[in-house]
Amino acid sequence: MVYMYDGSFDGLLSVVFESYVSKERPVQIVKEQKWHPTFFDTTKQIITDEIKSERVWQSIITRSGTSVSQMLYTAFASELPDIELKIFYYLEKLFADTSGNYSRNLLDEHAFDLFNIARKVRYEAHRFKGFVRFQETSDGLFFSAIDPVFNILSLLAPHFASRYADQKWVIYDTKRDKGIYFDPSGIREIVLTEKQFNQLNGRISHHIRSEDEDLYQKLWKTYYKAINIPERKNTRLMMHFLPRRYWKYLPEKH
């Protein structure tokens, strides 16, 4: 049986709930929008149910604590192929375990795999805390474009909400065409229907730029150039801390 869901984490937990209730083990779990049916497949569409997903979430925490639940959520953000099945198999073992030790057993292939995936996602999210470059618009909004490998917007949000709690800002993931908008009333996910920024370098359009934005950009580039010591240039080390794939929206690289 192929289970289809809406692609959300709550949707995946709803899949886990339905599988448990129906005592049916899916051979595949796929996002509806990415599903390509074949003649031999039998499918089952799972509707996201927040009550059911919350029950699964609380069961995970009860069994293994918040660190494991956060690890699963972070691994899910990787969007890797078959990440849903990896999480499903992990939960299957977690809920079947009566010793309470499964979550600590990194010798298990599913536990080890998810632990490593989550570690890579967390590492990229940590890097982007330093790679986000805001630009100010004429109405006081701060905007930044990013294109991370993993779907890390929800992992970045708490950091910037805490750091810029009195500002309005948007961090927009151009790869997934969605962003997060923050103002002091809270955080919400957005999709920009009209892109008023250059998708090649992330620069917001000139007519919505604040009067001082060009000056700030110039000052930042001057500072970046000033701290560079040509005699101590170590390209290999620089590429380690600032890989080329993250240069796209960094003003100091344009």
Q: What is the pLDDT of residues 123-145, one digit of tens each?
A: 999 999 999 999 999 999 999 99
Q: Which of 106, 98, 190 is nearest to 143 (CA)?
A: 190
Q: What is the arithmetic mean of pLDDT over 221-232?
A: 78
pLDDT digits (tens, 9 = 90+) for 141-185: 999 999 999 999 999 999 999 999 999 999 999 999 999 999 999
Report the sign of the C-alpha dihedral through residues 175, 235, 219, 132, in that order: positive
pLDDT at 206 over 90: no
pLDDT digits (tens, 9 = 90+) for 35-94: 777 767 788 999 999 999 999 999 999 999 899 999 999 999 999 999 999 999 999 999
* pLDDT at residue 99, rounded to an integer: 84
Q: In what order do the strands lie in the sheet with 43-45?
A: 28-31, 2-5, 43-45
Residue 86: what residue type?
K
* pLDDT at residue 243, rounded to an integer: 82
Query: CA 132 to CA 112: how far, in whole Å?
Result: 31
Query: CA 128 to CA 123: how far, in whole Å?
Result: 9
* pLDDT at residue 225, rounded to an integer: 78
pLDDT at 8 over 80: yes
Q: Which residues contact residue 110 at a Cβ distance below 8 angstroms, ignoring those fewer than 6 apart?
A: 86, 89, 90, 93
Q: How far is CA 1 from CA 21, 42, 86, 180, in A?
A: 15, 5, 16, 35
Neighbouring C-beta atoms of residue 83, cutoff 10 Å: 19
